[in-house]
Amino acid sequence: MPLAWAWSPALMRRLRLPSLRLAMGLMAALLVAIAILLFIDLKATVRYSSVPAVEGMVPSVAITKPEQVALFVLDSPVAAPPSLAGERPDIAGPPVDPDPALIEWHDGAALPRIADDGRRPLAVYARPLSAPVADRPMVAIVVTGLGLDSERLVQSTLLPGAVSLVHTPYAANLGPWQRHARWHGHEVMLALGLQAADDRTSDFGPWTLDPLDGEVEQLVGLERILARSEGFIGVAAESGTFGRAPERFAPIAAALAERGLGFVELGDTRLATEATAHGLAYVSATGPLDEVTEPDAIDAALGRLELAALSDGRAVGYVQPYPLTFNRLWHWARTLEEKGIALVPVSHLLAEG
C-alpha cells in the first residue's frame, strides 16, 4: 500500500470518527457521574450535635437563613417577647421583676446572691403552691432547651403555671423572655452546660464547664452564665463527664449554694452526694420523657412518672420543647387532680431536698 494513500485525509477522517465518538461517550458518562454525586450530596442529611437535635435536608441558602445559625452563638436571632401592655400578670406566679436585694454587682455584671435578711433566690423567685398538697403524691415537670425559638418560648408560657422552664444562657433577649415567663406564672431556671460524656452527640457550647479545668476557671465560667439573667431559681444540667468524677463538681456546688440557688440534675443522680454535701438544694429529674416523640410514648412516660410519685411520694421529670410534648402535657395535667396527684413547681421539691 502506498504511504501517501495510507495517510490520506479520507483515512484520517475514518480513524478520527470512532475516537471522537468514544471521547464524547466518556465525557457524557463523566458528566452523569458528577451530576449523581452532586445530587447525593444535596440529599445528604444534616445532624447538629447540639440540643435540641435538628435533622433535615440541606437548604440551598443554608448560610444566610437565620435558623441555620449555630445554636451556641451568643444572642442568637430570637426576637424580643410580645408586648404585655394592657395585660395583668398571673397573681399566682413568682415575682415578675428581680429584687435588688438579691443582686450582687461584680465588674458590671449582676449575679444572684442571698439577701442580707437571709432570703434566697430559690425561695423568692419560686412559684408558690396554689393549694396545700397535704399528703398527696407530688409531681414536677421541667421543660429544658428553651430560648432559641420564639414560637416555642411563647408556647411554653401557655403550659400550666406549675411547670418550670429552663432557658439556655446563649439566648438573645434572655432577661425579657424569663420575665415574660414569670409574668405568665412560671418559675425559671438557667441551663448549665457541663462537659458531655460523649462529645460526638452533645455540645453545650463555648461556655461548657469542664471537670479538667481548675477551680478558678470553673467559677469564672459559672459566673459568666449566672450573669446572663436575673430572677431565676437555679440551674439545670446533665452530669456529663462530671458524673465520672463528682468531686470535681464540688466548687460549682458550693458556689451555687452560697448564692442561694437550686440544682436540678437531668437524667441521673451522680452529682447528688456532692451537691447535698455542700448544702445545695438538689433534685434529680427523670427523662427526657419525650425521648420517643410519639403521643402514646409520651403518655406512657408520664404514666410512669405518676407511678413513681405514688410509690415514692414525689417524682420529677423533664421534657424537651416540642409542640407535641406541650400538647400531651396540657391534657395530662388536667387529669392529675382527680387522681389525687399534685402538680407542683420543681422549686417546692428543691426546697425540701
> For 16-41, how does the pLDDT look when each residue is reduced to its tens digit (9 = 90+)?
445 545 556 666 666 655 554 444 44
pLDDT of residue 46: 32
* Residue 290 to residue 32: CA distance in whole angstroms: 44
**Rounded-to-integer distance, Cα 350 and Cα 261, Å:** 9
Sequence length of the chain is 353
State which residues of the chain have pLDDT below 50: 1-17, 20, 36-72
Please tell me the predicted confidence (pLDDT) of residue 140. 98
Domain boundaries, the chain: 3-42, 75-84+93-352
Sole residue written with cell 404585655: 84
Which of 236, 223, 274 is closest to 112 using CA atoms? 223
Q: What is the pLDDT of residues 292-324, one digit of tens each?
A: 999 999 999 999 999 999 999 999 999 999 999
pLDDT score recorded for residue 32: 54
Question: At the top level of CATH, which class does the domain 75-84+93-352 belong to?
Answer: alpha beta
Q: Which three cell numbers stand for residue 172?
A: 438573645
Report the pLDDT value the prediction gives residue 3, as an integer from 0 to 100.
Answer: 39
Q: According to the model, what pLDDT value does residue 108 have?
A: 86
Q: What letter represents residue 227's amino acid? A: A
Neighbours of 272 (CB within 10 A): 18
Nearest one of 215, 260, 205 to 237, comparing CA atoms: 205
34: left (phi over 0), alpha (psi -120 to 50) or beta: alpha
The 3-state secondary structure of 97-153, one letter per residue: CCCHHHEEEECCEEEECCCCCCCCHHHHCCCCCCCCCCCCCEEEEEEEEECCCHHHH
Burial 148-164 (b: 16+ CB within 10 A, else e): bbbebbebbbebbbbbb
Residues in contact with 244: Cβ distance below 8 Å, sequence separation at least 6, in sequence order = 197, 211
Any idea which residue has 504511504 for its cell?
3
The Cα 195–Cα 205 span in angstroms is 9
H/E run at residue 188: strand 188-191
In this predicted structure, what is the pLDDT of residue 24?
Answer: 61
pLDDT for position 286: 98
Residue 290 is classified by DSSP as: T
pLDDT of residue 74: 54
Question: What pLDDT does 133 receive?
Answer: 84
Global confidence as pTM: 0.79
